[in-house]
Amino acid sequence: MKKAYIALGSNLGNRLENLKHSLKLLSTERGITVTAISAVYETEPVGGPGQGPFLNACAKVRTRLTPTILLLEMLDVENNMGRVREERWGPRLIDLDLLVYDRTTISSPLLELPHPRLVERDFVLIPLADIAPNLTIPGQEKTVSEIISNRKSTDDVKLFLPSGWYSAL
Which of the residues are catalytic?
83, 92, 95, 97
Residue 3, amino acid: K
Distance separating alpha carbons of residues 117 and 123, to the nearest angstrom: 11
15-28 helix and 67-80 helix, angle to the nearest 10 degrees:
130
DSSP 38: -
DSSP 120: G
E strands, the chain, where? Answer: 2-10, 32-37, 40-43, 54-63, 95-101, 106-107, 112-113, 157-161
Phi, psi of 21 (to 5 degrees): -65, -40
Which of 96, 148, 102, 84 is closest to 2 using CA atoms? 102
Do residues 100 and 32 make contact, with C-beta atoms less than 8 angstroms apart?
no
